[in-house]
Chain A
Amino acid sequence: MSKLRYLVIYLSLVVALVLMILPLPDWVQIYRPNWVALVLIYWSMALPKRVGLWFAFFTGIILDTSQGTLLGQHTLALVIIIFVNMNFYQRIRVLALAQQAMYVFALLLVNQVVVAWVEGVMGRPTPLLAFFGAPFIGMLIWPWVFVILRDARRKALLS
């Protein structure tokens, strides 16, 4: 019964994954925010005991498979940002949405640095626009992600 309530976490991650693999026109593609990272950040903020590094690790592997990136690339990035978040969430949770969004931008940028770094090591430099564009869009979207997931969490009676 209580297990069932956590379904909302998995469900939101599945939706994020679908949004990540949804085909988009080339010029929009590079601005696609990292939905999975956004959703994961939310849950690790709301339920830090439940959604931690293990969660980040397995989500990362699934994301890597679905994105066709090196196995471990997004995993590393997600583990790092969730670890950072674990140390800050208590201070961030109480901030206004706009301030939170800036913090999320920083996290997404760290995520992007790791992913782009691995791409760079393999000889595929990331264009500058894509590097800053996607986290920026992620920042703009954060308030909506936050509100939607908070409502979902309250409906599912998770605290």
Chain B
Amino acid sequence: MKILLQARGASLQALFFVVISVAMMVVDHRFHHLEVVRTNISLALSPLRYIVSLPATGGNWLNDWFTSHTELLEENAALRAEGRILNARLQKLEILAEENARLRSLLGSARKIADDVIVAELLSVDQNPYRQLIEINKGSSDGVEIGFAVIDDFGVMGQVIHVNPQSATTILISDPEHAIPVQFVRSGTRSVAFGRGSTTQLELRYLPATADIKIDDDLVTSGLGGRFPPDYPVAKVTAIEEDRVRGFVTVLAEPKARLDSSREVLVIKPRQ
């Protein structure tokens, strides 16, 4: 009898937890009330993330340590040369920027050229095979907020979807749930690039068959929607698939950013 009662108690308890879990999932999916829980647990887990990132960091450190003297000298020389070239280009750029600003002020547009950025480093990558998320080491205490765009030196990587005090979760543009408004540089056609769960492919659906698109066309952010600042490189067209029956074109593009290998990233504060 007692065993029976115990068994019934356990069943009730299990049912209770099942109901709670399902309720939590619904609340988490639809609303944002559980962000607080998530943030606090995430914070408590941050030492674990740190431990996990140790082997990679340690490896890098050892690698740096054992880089031979001559290699360093060579690299130094190369960097100096590159620095000179970049400086020369920069002078030109400054002049261009000034000219651009002057022209813009003539046109009466108030767009700023430079954006405020926060430099961040990667903490951990994509713990879930179905999603494309990365964790960066700057959080709300550094001024990072939800919706900020994240880029690396080659292009747009994604946007911040969750912020902790010392870290932030970034959804990559290749996540199946992510879409980014883009524009073809050459033709000016606007579209939206969807992630496909692979770091090497974005998909632009339902473009008109008459659109002027070629392989190797560059895609930049269009700035529509207000999330991503305009004119940052996003991807390059790699394939064009025609659907003759329905008269649409699906374009596949390869992200410019190194979604799977960049360690240093920039978080862009949107302009006021």
Binding site for B on A (CB under 8 A): 14, 17-18, 20-23, 26, 29-30, 32, 52-53, 56-57, 60-62, 65-73, 75-76, 79-80, 83, 86-87, 118-119, 122, 124, 126, 130
Chain B residues with Cβ below 8 Å from A118 are 25
Chain B residues with Cβ below 8 Å from A124 are 130-131, 176-177
Query: Does B129 contact A130, Cβ atoms closer than 8 Å?
Result: yes
**Interface residues of B: mostly helix, strand, loop or mixed?**
helix
Give 15 CB contacts A-B under 8 Å.
Answer: A21-B124, A23-B52, A23-B127, A30-B129, A53-B14, A57-B17, A57-B20, A65-B37, A65-B38, A66-B41, A66-B42, A70-B28, A72-B22, A76-B21, A79-B17
Closest chain-B Cβ to A67's Cβ sits at a distance in Å of: 5
Chain A residues with Cβ below 8 Å from B62 are none
Query: Does B17 contact A66, Cβ atoms closer than 8 Å?
Result: no
Known: A18-B48, A53-B14. A72 touches B21 (CB 8 A): yes
Query: Does B41 contact A65, Cβ atoms closer than 8 Å?
Result: yes
Closest chain-B Cβ to A19's Cβ sits at a distance in Å of: 9
- Cα A29 to Cα B23 with chains together (Å): 29
Chain A residues with Cβ below 8 Å from B118 are none
Binding site for A on B (CB under 8 A): 7, 10-11, 13-14, 17-18, 20-25, 27-29, 34, 37-38, 41-42, 45, 48-49, 51-52, 56, 124-131, 133, 169, 176-177, 260
Query: Does A66 contact B48, Cβ atoms closer than 8 Å?
Result: yes
Instruction: Pick the contact of A62: B41, B124, B125 (CB < 8 A).
Output: B41
Query: Does B56 contact A23, Cβ atoms closer than 8 Å?
Result: yes
Query: Does A65 contact B14, Cβ atoms closer than 8 Å?
Result: no
- Cα A118 to Cα B28 with chains together (Å): 13
Known: A72-B25, A72-B28, A122-B29. A66 touches B127 (CB 8 A): yes
Query: Does B45 contact A70, Cβ atoms closer than 8 Å?
Result: no
Query: Does B48 contact A53, Cβ atoms closer than 8 Å?
Result: no
Known: A61-B37, A86-B10. A66 touches B45 (CB 8 A): yes
- Cα A147 to Cα B217 with chains together (Å): 58
- Cα A52 to Cα B25 with chains together (Å): 21
- Cα A116 to Cα B78 with chains together (Å): 51
Chain A residues with Cβ below 8 Å from B51 are 18
Known: A70-B29, A83-B10. A21 touches B22 (CB 8 A): no
